[in-house]
Amino acid sequence: MTLTLTLAVALLTGAGVYLVLDRKIFSAILGLSLLAHAANLVMLAAGGWGAKAPIVTAGTDRQLLADPVPQAFVLTAIVISMTLTLYLLAVLIKNSRLLGDDVIAQPLVNDADRDDDEVAAELRGGEGRVG
Amino acid sequence: MTWLPVAIWLLPGLAGLTLWLVPGRAPWFRTLALTFALIELGLATILFRLAATGTTLVHAFGDWQPPFGIVFVADRLSALLVLLCALLLLVTVWVLRPRVYGHSTVERGLPLLFLLSCGLVGAFQTGDLFHLFVAFEVVLLASYALLQVPGSDRSTLGAFPNVAINLLASLFFFLGIGLLYGLLGTVNLADLAVSISSEPSPAKIFAVYLLAVAFAIKAGLVPLLFWLPATYPATSGPLAAFFAGMMTKLGVFALLRMAPLLTAAPVVAETLVWVGAVSALLGGLAALSEVELRRLLGFHIVSQVGYMVLGLGLLSIGALAASIFYLAHHILVKATLFFVADELERRNGTRDLRRMRAVRGGLAVVFLAAAFSLAGLPPLSGFFAKLGLLRATFEAAAWAPLAALAVASVLTLASMLKIWRLAFSGTATVPSEKPSPEKPPSERPDASMLLPLWLLVVVSVLLAIYAGPFFQFAEATARQLLDLEGYRGVLLSPGTGSHEGVMR
């Protein structure tokens, strides 16, 4: 069981890293979710791979039970990573509207190539563009 | 009083939700936000006064006795950071006026700012590693949204790299928790600290390394720092100031909380000393080469976080106390500088220092007070912070880091002088290609704009005047951090869950 789990984590991490290094934001998002799944599996493994659901009744052999705490942790982490994936997809849409292409752009680290008036308007607060 | 940590945590969360529900353009919207911030500051002050006497409030949720279940532990370090967070929240809400920044910025920014504070306060008071992870995520989600408040091209393009690096940091954090739980069977900080020191093993050291890497990314340390100066200039000025004050300090706080784990894995602490020294130097050097005001200050955060992390890596009481002093000083001063930077950028309509025209008056005085304090000139608070840190480094006989700190200090002064020369005295050295508008609309700001900044300056000067007593407080905090038996005694004492304990 441990070997299967190790291989699964290795596979997910390998695929995740490969995808994160891609130029397309969409691939990178997929890669990040795979990495999150790999981390979740590691957390599950930390709780022991017990054979039975952790319901204690009279005469249960506690050695066979899975530890419920890491499962609760993983549940939390799944919710968080789902939220982040959704947020990243929104970022993807905004980015591709701006650039007309799904690529990770060099962030604008300075205003060298930008219109002076546009920068000034942005800094004076103004009503930011939505969507 | 064990409800107090919970109330301080819930209030900003409820305030954030309330501000989302009420109409954002109502005239009383900002008044409501200010009221929430004032109550929060009041509660934080009560907590701080309690903690300063050594009382440690423990709230066990659902009365699950620690180490089972989630606990809030409000000790000196928590109370100090909660107080500074509440103060900065108040100042930010105060500065963020619809008349200056536009209705949409205020309407979108304020609820998120309160939710961010909720996450921060939760993180500062946690007694449990997994809850720290959850609080980090609350903070991060709010911060991602806050960075998009201006809706500019710059903030849009900066979003993905920022989220991606923070997501990776969170994964490291999560893996670290998983390994520690697998090895030791607990995520309660007091329990962890005791059981990790029993018998060190490579696996435990690796787990502590994972956590340290995660926190180092959040703190913006070398080599994973480039998200920081790219991100902060992209958002609205006052929000960036709040970020500059609190966000990286969350990483430093988490490292401080980990101090007992670090004592059990000294090799990680040693790495942190070197990483801190290199960050202090590189941040200072990179700042010198920048021409954009907030990017320059962003690299300075890297440099100063390097100072703090170097101090905490030394793990002596003196060094930890100096780090804590530095933390408090830096939150106040850095936020002030970012507020000033925002004011300058808005008045001049450019982020480029070389194009700024001379500014005099109150803003110049506020800048000088904050800049000299940051550079560590006596008699300002930065001087005492640096003095304490240099003395602790000297006592630890860490000569190379000591030299790095001294050089970085000169670099800080140099780049502060650069800002002064370019933005406050003289004229624009590189004229804009287009004729600049003869009088920008916000040329003559009313003096009340500067009031919140004066508040920050006054608190920072008070920190300098009461440097002695505050240093004693910082020392007591450092002792409390390393006093495992005391922490364990307070946290895991038999009996009911929530209680007040006393630590020296």
Helices (H), B22-97: 29-52, 76-95
B435 located within any domain = no
pLDDT for residue A32 is more than 90? yes
Give the DSSP letter of residue B243: H
CA-wise closest residue to B246 among B232, B234, B226: B232
- Determine the pLDDT at residue B272: 94
Q: How many residues does chain A have?
A: 131
| Phi, psi (deg, nearest 5) at residue B67 | -90, 15
B116 located within any domain = yes
Quote the number of domains for chain A: 1
CA distances from residue B252 to A127, B71, B244 in whole angstroms, order as listed: 35, 21, 13
A130 and chain B: CB distance < 8 Å anywhere? yes
ipTM for the predicted complex? 0.89
Give the closest of A39, A95, A117 to B175, CB-based. A39
Q: Return the amino acid letter for B438.
A: E
Question: CATH number for the domain including A57?
Answer: 1.10.287.3510
Q: Please enumerate in sequence order all residues whose Cβ is within 8 A of that of B110, keeping only pairs 6 or more positions apart, or say none.
A: B19, B24, B29, B30, B33, B93, B96
CA distances from residue B276 to A19, B68, B85, B134 in whole angstroms, order as listed: 32, 35, 24, 26
A119 located within any domain = no
Quote the number of domains for chain B: 1
Residue segments in chain B with a per-residue pLDDT below the cut of 50: 434-443
A124 located within any domain = no
Q: Give me B308's structure tokens.
A: 């703090």
Interface test with B, best of A113, A123, A129 (most B CBs within 10 A): A123
Put simply, the answer to whether A25 touches B160 (Cβ < 8 Å) is yes
Report pLDDT digits (tens) over B134-192. 999 999 999 999 998 887 878 888 888 889 999 999 999 999 999 999 888 888 888 88
Residues in A touching B433 (Cβ below 8 Å): 116
pLDDT for residue A74 is more than 70? yes
Task: Give Cα B423 to chain centroid, integer Å.
Answer: 26
Q: Which residue of A has its CA nearest to B131?
A: A73
pTM for the predicted model, two decimal places: 0.92
Residue-number span of the structural domain to which A30 is assigned: 2-105
Residues in A touching B105 (Cβ below 8 Å): 125, 128
Q: Which residue of A has its CA nearest to B138?
A: A80
Report pLDDT digits (tens) over A95-108. 888 888 887 776 66
A101 and chain B: CB distance < 8 Å anywhere? no
Put simply, the answer to whether B174 touches A39 (Cβ < 8 Å) is yes
A67 located within any domain = yes
Put simply, the answer to whether A36 touches B171 (Cβ < 8 Å) is yes
Give the closest of A39, A87, A98 to B153, CB-based. A98
Residues in B touching A98 (Cβ below 8 Å): 153, 156-157
Distance from CA of A38 to the nearest CA of B (A): 9
Q: Residue B304 in contact with residue B326, Cβ under 8 Å? A: yes
Put simply, the answer to whether A43 touches B349 (Cβ < 8 Å) is no
Output the furthest CA–CA distance in chain A (Å, rounded): 77
Put simply, the answer to whether B161 touches A28 (Cβ < 8 Å) is no
A89 located within any domain = yes
A110 located within any domain = no
Q: Give me B461's structure tokens.
A: 């000067």
Distance from CA of B314 to the nearest CA of A (A): 31
> What CA–CA distance (Å, rounded) separates B438 from B359?
15
> What CA–CA distance (Å, rounded) separates B51 from B437?
53
- Determine the pLDDT at residue A127: 47
B96 located within any domain = yes
> What CA–CA distance (Å, rounded) separates A67 from A70?
7
- Determine the pLDDT at residue B439: 45
Q: Residue B80 in contact with residue B48, Cβ under 8 Å? A: yes
Environment class of residue B23 by beta-carbon count within 10 Å: exposed (0-12), middle (13-18) or buried (19+)? exposed
Put simply, the answer to whether B433 touches A45 (Cβ < 8 Å) is no
* Residue written as token pair 């070389």: B354
For residue B497, the tally of other CB atoms under 10 A from its CB is 17
Q: Give me A37's structure tokens.
A: 């799944």
> What CA–CA distance (Å, rounded) separates B462 from B473?
14
Q: Return the amino acid letter for A60.
A: T
A42 and chain B: CB distance < 8 Å anywhere? yes
Q: Give me B473's structure tokens.
A: 């407080």
Q: Give me A46's structure tokens.
A: 């930390």
Which of the two residues, A118 and A84, has the higher pLDDT score? Answer: A84
Angle between helix B399-419 and helix B293-314 axes, rounded to 10 deg: 160
B444 located within any domain = no
- Determine the pLDDT at residue B68: 80
Residues in B touching A88 (Cβ below 8 Å): 160, 163
pLDDT for residue A125 is more than 90? no
Residues in A touching B100 (Cβ below 8 Å): 125
Helix (H) or strand (E) holding B292: none
> What CA–CA distance (Å, rounded) separates B106 from B26?
11
* Residue written as token pair 């609820």: B111
Residue-number span of the structural domain to which B246 is assigned: 4-429+450-502
Put simply, the answer to whether B174 touches A43 (Cβ < 8 Å) is yes
Give the closest of A45, A107, A119 to B230, CB-based. A107
B332 located within any domain = yes
CA distances from residue B362 to B68, B340, B347, B359, B461 in whole angstroms, order as listed: 54, 10, 14, 9, 16
